[in-house]
Amino acid sequence: MMTPEFSRRDLIGAIAAVPLAPLLPTPAEAQPIPTRKWSVPYGAAVRGGSLTEDAEYRATLAAYCDQLVSEGGLKWFDLRPTRDRFDFSEGDRYLAFARANGMKFRGHTLVWHGALPPWAEAIDNAVVAEREMIRHIETVVGHYRGKIANWDVVNEAIADDPQTAPGLRDSLWLRRIGPRYVALALRAAAQADPGAKLIINDYDIEFVGDRYKRKREAFLRLIRSLRADNVPLHGVGLQGHLSDNQIDQAGLTAFASEIKAMGLEFMVTELDVVDNKMPGPPEMRDMVAAARVHDFLGAIFAAIRPSAVLTWGITDKYSWVPIYFKRGDGLPNRPLPFDVQYKPKPMMQVIEHFCR
Protein backbone atom coordinates (compact mmCIF):
# COMPACT_ATOMS: atom_id res chain seq x y z
CA MET A 1 0.00 0.00 0.00
CA MET A 2 1.51 3.34 -1.02
CA THR A 3 2.07 5.83 1.77
CA PRO A 4 -0.38 8.75 1.39
CA GLU A 5 2.40 11.30 0.99
CA PHE A 6 3.68 9.47 -2.08
CA SER A 7 1.36 8.82 -4.98
CA ARG A 8 2.47 6.25 -7.52
CA ARG A 9 2.68 9.15 -9.99
CA ASP A 10 5.05 11.02 -7.66
CA LEU A 11 7.15 7.92 -7.29
CA ILE A 12 7.35 7.17 -10.99
CA GLY A 13 8.05 10.88 -11.56
CA ALA A 14 10.85 10.82 -8.99
CA ILE A 15 12.42 7.77 -10.57
CA ALA A 16 11.85 8.72 -14.19
CA ALA A 17 13.37 12.15 -13.56
CA VAL A 18 16.70 10.59 -12.76
CA PRO A 19 18.63 8.48 -15.28
CA LEU A 20 19.04 5.64 -12.83
CA ALA A 21 18.41 2.90 -15.34
CA PRO A 22 21.97 2.85 -16.77
CA LEU A 23 23.30 2.91 -13.22
CA LEU A 24 21.33 0.02 -11.90
CA PRO A 25 23.13 -3.27 -12.08
CA THR A 26 22.38 -5.82 -14.72
CA PRO A 27 22.21 -9.27 -13.06
CA ALA A 28 25.85 -9.85 -13.90
CA GLU A 29 26.88 -6.63 -12.14
CA ALA A 30 24.47 -6.96 -9.24
CA GLN A 31 27.29 -7.25 -6.72
CA PRO A 32 29.62 -4.23 -6.75
CA ILE A 33 33.22 -5.35 -6.85
CA PRO A 34 34.75 -4.86 -3.40
CA THR A 35 37.51 -2.49 -4.24
CA ARG A 36 38.90 0.75 -3.00
CA LYS A 37 39.91 2.09 -6.40
CA TRP A 38 37.89 5.29 -6.09
CA SER A 39 38.53 8.38 -8.21
CA VAL A 40 36.71 10.33 -5.48
CA PRO A 41 37.57 8.74 -2.11
CA TYR A 42 34.60 6.95 -0.51
CA GLY A 43 34.25 6.31 3.19
CA ALA A 44 31.83 5.72 6.03
CA ALA A 45 31.21 6.60 9.65
CA VAL A 46 32.27 3.84 12.02
CA ARG A 47 30.80 2.96 15.39
CA GLY A 48 32.54 1.16 18.20
CA GLY A 49 30.49 -1.80 19.38
CA SER A 50 29.79 -3.09 15.88
CA LEU A 51 33.46 -2.88 14.97
CA THR A 52 34.28 -5.30 17.77
CA GLU A 53 31.35 -7.68 17.42
CA ASP A 54 30.61 -7.88 13.69
CA ALA A 55 33.19 -9.44 11.36
CA GLU A 56 31.05 -8.77 8.26
CA TYR A 57 30.88 -5.10 9.25
CA ARG A 58 34.67 -4.93 9.51
CA ALA A 59 35.04 -6.79 6.21
CA THR A 60 32.60 -4.51 4.37
CA LEU A 61 34.32 -1.36 5.64
CA ALA A 62 37.71 -2.79 4.69
CA ALA A 63 36.44 -3.87 1.26
CA TYR A 64 34.90 -0.56 0.16
CA CYS A 65 36.19 2.34 2.27
CA ASP A 66 39.42 4.20 1.83
CA GLN A 67 38.59 6.41 4.77
CA LEU A 68 36.55 6.36 7.94
CA VAL A 69 35.07 9.01 10.22
CA SER A 70 34.11 8.64 13.87
CA GLU A 71 30.33 8.53 14.39
CA GLY A 72 30.98 8.87 18.13
CA GLY A 73 34.12 8.56 20.18
CA LEU A 74 35.52 11.98 19.33
CA LYS A 75 32.65 14.12 20.56
CA TRP A 76 32.87 15.95 23.87
CA PHE A 77 30.47 13.52 25.53
CA ASP A 78 32.74 10.57 24.71
CA LEU A 79 36.09 12.27 25.15
CA ARG A 80 35.50 14.28 28.28
CA PRO A 81 33.58 12.51 31.03
CA THR A 82 34.84 15.17 33.41
CA ARG A 83 36.42 18.58 32.89
CA ASP A 84 39.93 17.29 33.63
CA ARG A 85 39.84 13.82 32.07
CA PHE A 86 40.27 13.06 28.35
CA ASP A 87 39.33 9.50 27.31
CA PHE A 88 40.85 8.74 23.90
CA SER A 89 40.21 4.99 24.06
CA GLU A 90 37.35 4.85 21.53
CA GLY A 91 38.96 7.26 19.09
CA ASP A 92 42.28 5.40 19.36
CA ARG A 93 40.50 2.12 18.58
CA TYR A 94 38.87 3.51 15.43
CA LEU A 95 42.16 5.03 14.33
CA ALA A 96 43.98 1.72 14.89
CA PHE A 97 41.40 -0.14 12.75
CA ALA A 98 41.66 2.45 9.99
CA ARG A 99 45.45 2.40 9.97
CA ALA A 100 45.56 -1.43 10.11
CA ASN A 101 43.43 -1.42 6.95
CA GLY A 102 45.33 1.32 5.13
CA MET A 103 42.52 3.84 5.48
CA LYS A 104 42.57 7.54 6.27
CA PHE A 105 40.61 8.64 9.32
CA ARG A 106 38.82 11.96 9.78
CA GLY A 107 37.86 13.46 13.12
CA HIS A 108 34.28 14.44 13.97
CA THR A 109 33.86 16.89 15.70
CA LEU A 110 35.78 19.42 17.79
CA VAL A 111 33.08 22.09 18.40
CA TRP A 112 29.36 21.27 18.22
CA HIS A 113 26.24 22.28 20.10
CA GLY A 114 25.42 18.59 20.56
CA ALA A 115 26.85 15.73 22.64
CA LEU A 116 28.13 18.01 25.42
CA PRO A 117 28.65 16.44 28.86
CA PRO A 118 26.70 18.02 31.73
CA TRP A 119 29.76 19.83 33.13
CA ALA A 120 30.27 21.55 29.74
CA GLU A 121 26.56 22.37 29.31
CA ALA A 122 26.84 24.12 32.69
CA ILE A 123 29.61 26.52 31.57
CA ASP A 124 28.12 29.93 32.24
CA ASN A 125 30.74 32.50 31.35
CA ALA A 126 32.85 33.65 28.42
CA VAL A 127 36.27 33.16 30.00
CA VAL A 128 35.65 29.52 30.96
CA ALA A 129 33.93 28.74 27.65
CA GLU A 130 36.82 30.12 25.62
CA ARG A 131 39.44 28.46 27.83
CA GLU A 132 37.74 25.04 27.72
CA MET A 133 37.05 25.19 23.97
CA ILE A 134 40.66 26.05 23.16
CA ARG A 135 42.00 23.53 25.68
CA HIS A 136 39.80 20.84 24.10
CA ILE A 137 41.02 21.57 20.59
CA GLU A 138 44.68 21.85 21.61
CA THR A 139 44.55 18.57 23.57
CA VAL A 140 42.52 16.49 21.11
CA VAL A 141 44.15 17.73 17.89
CA GLY A 142 47.51 17.53 19.64
CA HIS A 143 46.86 13.90 20.63
CA TYR A 144 46.07 12.96 17.02
CA ARG A 145 48.62 15.29 15.39
CA GLY A 146 49.91 13.69 12.19
CA LYS A 147 47.41 10.82 12.51
CA ILE A 148 44.04 12.51 11.88
CA ALA A 149 44.62 14.75 8.90
CA ASN A 150 41.10 16.08 8.47
CA TRP A 151 38.79 17.54 11.13
CA ASP A 152 35.23 18.76 11.31
CA VAL A 153 36.35 21.68 13.45
CA VAL A 154 32.96 23.37 13.82
CA ASN A 155 29.79 21.38 13.19
CA GLU A 156 26.34 22.90 12.51
CA ALA A 157 27.22 26.55 13.19
CA ILE A 158 24.27 27.83 11.11
CA ALA A 159 20.75 28.23 12.54
CA ASP A 160 18.08 25.89 11.22
CA ASP A 161 16.14 28.87 9.86
CA PRO A 162 18.45 31.91 9.75
CA GLN A 163 15.99 34.79 9.44
CA THR A 164 18.61 37.56 9.77
CA ALA A 165 22.39 37.84 9.34
CA PRO A 166 24.71 36.39 10.51
CA GLY A 167 22.30 33.49 11.06
CA LEU A 168 24.43 31.47 13.48
CA ARG A 169 22.85 28.72 15.58
CA ASP A 170 22.01 29.60 19.18
CA SER A 171 24.49 27.38 21.05
CA LEU A 172 26.53 27.37 24.22
CA TRP A 173 29.51 28.57 22.17
CA LEU A 174 27.64 31.43 20.52
CA ARG A 175 26.01 32.52 23.76
CA ARG A 176 29.19 32.47 25.81
CA ILE A 177 31.88 33.50 23.29
CA GLY A 178 29.94 35.20 20.49
CA PRO A 179 30.18 34.74 16.68
CA ARG A 180 33.99 34.82 16.86
CA TYR A 181 34.00 31.29 18.34
CA VAL A 182 34.12 29.80 14.83
CA ALA A 183 37.31 31.65 13.85
CA LEU A 184 38.79 31.02 17.30
CA ALA A 185 38.22 27.26 16.96
CA LEU A 186 39.73 27.12 13.47
CA ARG A 187 42.80 29.10 14.55
CA ALA A 188 43.31 26.85 17.59
CA ALA A 189 43.07 23.73 15.42
CA ALA A 190 45.54 25.14 12.89
CA GLN A 191 47.98 25.91 15.68
CA ALA A 192 47.57 22.41 17.19
CA ASP A 193 48.25 20.66 13.87
CA PRO A 194 49.36 22.87 10.97
CA GLY A 195 49.22 19.83 8.69
CA ALA A 196 45.56 19.01 9.28
CA LYS A 197 42.79 19.96 6.83
CA LEU A 198 40.17 22.03 8.67
CA ILE A 199 36.51 21.74 7.67
CA ILE A 200 33.28 23.42 8.76
CA ASN A 201 30.30 21.12 8.37
CA ASP A 202 26.54 21.64 8.13
CA TYR A 203 23.26 20.13 6.98
CA ASP A 204 19.99 21.05 5.18
CA ILE A 205 21.95 23.07 2.61
CA GLU A 206 20.72 21.09 -0.40
CA PHE A 207 16.93 21.21 -0.39
CA VAL A 208 14.25 23.16 -2.28
CA GLY A 209 12.57 25.75 -0.06
CA ASP A 210 13.02 29.29 1.31
CA ARG A 211 14.33 28.03 4.66
CA TYR A 212 17.02 25.95 2.98
CA LYS A 213 17.93 28.81 0.62
CA ARG A 214 18.39 31.08 3.64
CA LYS A 215 20.56 28.44 5.31
CA ARG A 216 22.70 28.11 2.16
CA GLU A 217 23.13 31.91 2.07
CA ALA A 218 23.99 32.09 5.77
CA PHE A 219 26.56 29.31 5.37
CA LEU A 220 28.14 31.18 2.44
CA ARG A 221 28.18 34.41 4.49
CA LEU A 222 30.08 32.65 7.28
CA ILE A 223 32.54 31.06 4.86
CA ARG A 224 33.18 34.34 3.03
CA SER A 225 33.78 36.18 6.31
CA LEU A 226 36.25 33.52 7.46
CA ARG A 227 38.10 33.78 4.15
CA ALA A 228 38.07 37.59 4.29
CA ASP A 229 39.65 37.44 7.75
CA ASN A 230 42.30 34.91 6.62
CA VAL A 231 41.01 32.36 9.11
CA PRO A 232 42.59 28.95 8.43
CA LEU A 233 39.90 26.92 6.60
CA HIS A 234 40.51 24.25 3.96
CA GLY A 235 37.06 23.06 3.11
CA VAL A 236 33.34 22.83 3.60
CA GLY A 237 31.39 19.72 4.50
CA LEU A 238 27.78 19.06 3.56
CA GLN A 239 26.45 16.34 5.81
CA GLY A 240 23.95 15.20 3.18
CA HIS A 241 21.23 13.68 5.37
CA LEU A 242 18.78 13.50 2.45
CA SER A 243 15.07 12.84 2.81
CA ASP A 244 11.82 13.06 0.84
CA ASN A 245 12.60 16.78 0.31
CA GLN A 246 13.49 17.60 -3.28
CA ILE A 247 17.12 18.56 -3.97
CA ASP A 248 17.54 22.16 -5.17
CA GLN A 249 19.95 21.15 -7.90
CA ALA A 250 20.48 24.64 -9.33
CA GLY A 251 20.91 26.10 -5.84
CA LEU A 252 23.29 23.33 -4.78
CA THR A 253 25.37 23.61 -7.96
CA ALA A 254 25.62 27.39 -7.46
CA PHE A 255 26.67 26.86 -3.83
CA ALA A 256 29.32 24.29 -4.83
CA SER A 257 30.58 26.65 -7.58
CA GLU A 258 31.11 29.42 -5.00
CA ILE A 259 33.02 27.03 -2.74
CA LYS A 260 35.21 26.06 -5.68
CA ALA A 261 35.72 29.72 -6.64
CA MET A 262 36.99 30.37 -3.11
CA GLY A 263 39.58 27.65 -3.60
CA LEU A 264 38.07 25.48 -0.88
CA GLU A 265 37.62 21.72 -0.77
CA PHE A 266 34.07 20.32 -0.81
CA MET A 267 33.24 17.16 1.14
CA VAL A 268 30.10 15.09 1.49
CA THR A 269 30.52 14.06 5.11
CA GLU A 270 27.45 12.15 6.38
CA LEU A 271 25.42 10.96 3.39
CA ASP A 272 22.36 8.86 4.10
CA VAL A 273 18.63 9.00 3.31
CA VAL A 274 16.21 9.66 6.16
CA ASP A 275 13.38 7.68 4.59
CA ASN A 276 10.69 7.85 7.29
CA LYS A 277 8.37 9.78 4.96
CA MET A 278 9.14 7.81 1.81
CA PRO A 279 7.00 5.07 0.23
CA GLY A 280 6.67 1.86 2.21
CA PRO A 281 7.72 -1.01 -0.07
CA PRO A 282 11.53 -1.42 0.28
CA GLU A 283 12.29 -1.89 -3.41
CA MET A 284 10.38 1.32 -4.26
CA ARG A 285 11.87 3.22 -1.36
CA ASP A 286 15.36 2.13 -2.40
CA MET A 287 14.73 3.56 -5.87
CA VAL A 288 13.48 6.90 -4.53
CA ALA A 289 16.42 7.07 -2.12
CA ALA A 290 18.85 6.33 -4.95
CA ALA A 291 17.17 9.03 -7.04
CA ARG A 292 17.69 11.57 -4.25
CA VAL A 293 21.36 10.61 -3.94
CA HIS A 294 21.73 10.91 -7.71
CA ASP A 295 20.14 14.39 -7.69
CA PHE A 296 22.38 15.43 -4.77
CA LEU A 297 25.69 14.12 -6.09
CA GLY A 298 24.83 15.17 -9.64
CA ALA A 299 24.30 18.78 -8.55
CA ILE A 300 27.63 18.80 -6.67
CA PHE A 301 29.70 17.08 -9.34
CA ALA A 302 28.32 19.53 -11.91
CA ALA A 303 30.39 22.18 -10.10
CA ILE A 304 33.21 20.48 -8.21
CA ARG A 305 34.84 17.11 -7.55
CA PRO A 306 34.40 16.47 -3.84
CA SER A 307 37.56 15.61 -1.91
CA ALA A 308 35.61 12.69 -0.43
CA VAL A 309 32.10 11.26 -0.16
CA LEU A 310 31.34 9.57 3.14
CA THR A 311 28.11 7.91 4.19
CA TRP A 312 26.97 8.06 7.81
CA GLY A 313 27.45 4.36 8.30
CA ILE A 314 27.61 1.67 5.62
CA THR A 315 24.80 -0.77 6.47
CA ASP A 316 21.19 -0.28 7.53
CA LYS A 317 22.09 -2.57 10.43
CA TYR A 318 23.89 0.27 12.19
CA SER A 319 22.38 3.70 11.61
CA TRP A 320 21.19 6.62 13.69
CA VAL A 321 18.09 6.99 11.46
CA PRO A 322 15.82 4.41 13.19
CA ILE A 323 16.59 6.01 16.55
CA TYR A 324 15.55 9.52 15.52
CA PHE A 325 13.30 9.01 12.46
CA LYS A 326 11.20 5.88 13.00
CA ARG A 327 8.69 5.13 10.24
CA GLY A 328 4.99 5.45 11.00
CA ASP A 329 4.28 2.15 9.22
CA GLY A 330 6.70 0.29 11.46
CA LEU A 331 8.84 -0.86 8.51
CA PRO A 332 12.62 -0.74 9.05
CA ASN A 333 14.43 2.34 7.73
CA ARG A 334 16.75 1.78 4.75
CA PRO A 335 19.12 4.83 4.90
CA LEU A 336 22.47 3.42 3.77
CA PRO A 337 24.20 1.84 0.74
CA PHE A 338 24.04 -1.74 2.10
CA ASP A 339 21.03 -3.43 3.69
CA VAL A 340 21.04 -5.33 6.99
CA GLN A 341 22.34 -8.45 5.22
CA TYR A 342 25.15 -6.37 3.66
CA LYS A 343 23.51 -6.59 0.21
CA PRO A 344 24.23 -3.47 -1.87
CA LYS A 345 21.26 -1.29 -2.78
CA PRO A 346 20.71 1.03 -5.77
CA MET A 347 22.21 3.82 -3.63
CA MET A 348 25.59 2.06 -3.78
CA GLN A 349 25.39 1.90 -7.56
CA VAL A 350 24.76 5.65 -7.65
CA ILE A 351 27.75 6.32 -5.37
CA GLU A 352 29.88 4.07 -7.58
CA HIS A 353 28.64 5.92 -10.67
CA PHE A 354 29.98 9.21 -9.34
CA CYS A 355 33.00 8.16 -7.30
CA ARG A 356 34.60 5.29 -9.15
Q: Cβ 15 to ligand XIL, closest distance in Å?
A: 27
Main-chain dihedrals φ then ψ at residue 167, nearest 5 degrees: 80, 30
| Nearer of residues 237 and 344 to ligand XIL, judged by Cβ | 237
Q: Cβ 169 to ligand XIL, closest distance in Å?
A: 12
Q: Cβ 335 to ligand XIL, closest distance in Å?
A: 11
Count CB-CB contacts under 10 A for residue 199: 28
CA distance linking residue 24 with residue 59, whole number of Å: 24
| Nearer of residues 6 and 105 to ligand XIL, judged by Cβ | 105
Straight-line distance from the first to the last Cα atom of the chain, in angstroms, rounded to the nearest whole number: 36
Q: 3-state DSSP call for residue 79? A: helix
| Nearer of residues 279 and 313 to ligand XIL, judged by Cβ | 313
Catalytic residue list contains 270:
yes
Q: Cβ 70 to ligand XIL, closest distance in Å?
A: 9
| Nearer of residues 169 and 260 to ligand XIL, judged by Cβ | 169
| Nearer of residues 155 and 349 to ligand XIL, judged by Cβ | 155
Catalytic residue list contains 156:
yes
**Which uninterrupted H or E stretch holds 44?**
strand 42-46
Q: Cβ 71 to ligand XIL, closest distance in Å?
A: 5
| Nearer of residues 28 and 323 to ligand XIL, judged by Cβ | 323
The amino acid that residue 161 corresponds to is D
Q: Cβ 125 to ligand XIL, closest distance in Å?
A: 26
| Nearer of residues 72 and 337 to ligand XIL, judged by Cβ | 72
Beta pairing class for 241-242 and 265-273: parallel
CA distance linking residue 138 with residue 81, whole number of Å: 17
Q: Give, to the nearest 10 degrees, the angle between helix 210-228 and helix 249-261.
A: 0
Instruction: Give residue number: closest CB to ligand XIL.
Output: 320
330 torsion bin: left (phi>0), alpha (psi -120 to 50), beta (else): left
CA distance linking residue 317 with residue 321, whole number of Å: 10
Q: Cβ 104 to ligand XIL, closest distance in Å?
A: 19
Q: Give, to the nearest 10 degrees, the angle between helix 181-192 and helix 210-228.
A: 50
Q: Say which residues have a Cβ less than 8 Å from residue 85's Cβ, sequence separation at least 6.
A: none
CA distance linking residue 24 with residue 95, whole number of Å: 34
CA distance linking residue 170 with residue 328, whole number of Å: 31
Binding site residues, ligand XIL, CB under 6 A = 71-72, 155, 239, 270, 320
Tally of CA atoms within 13 A in the half-sphere of 220 that contains its CB = 19
Distances (CA, A) of 82 to 90, 106, 108, 114, 121: 16, 24, 19, 16, 12
Catalytic residue among 71, 90, 130, 156: 156
Catalytic residue among 130, 258, 265, 270: 270
* Active site (catalytic) residues: 156, 270
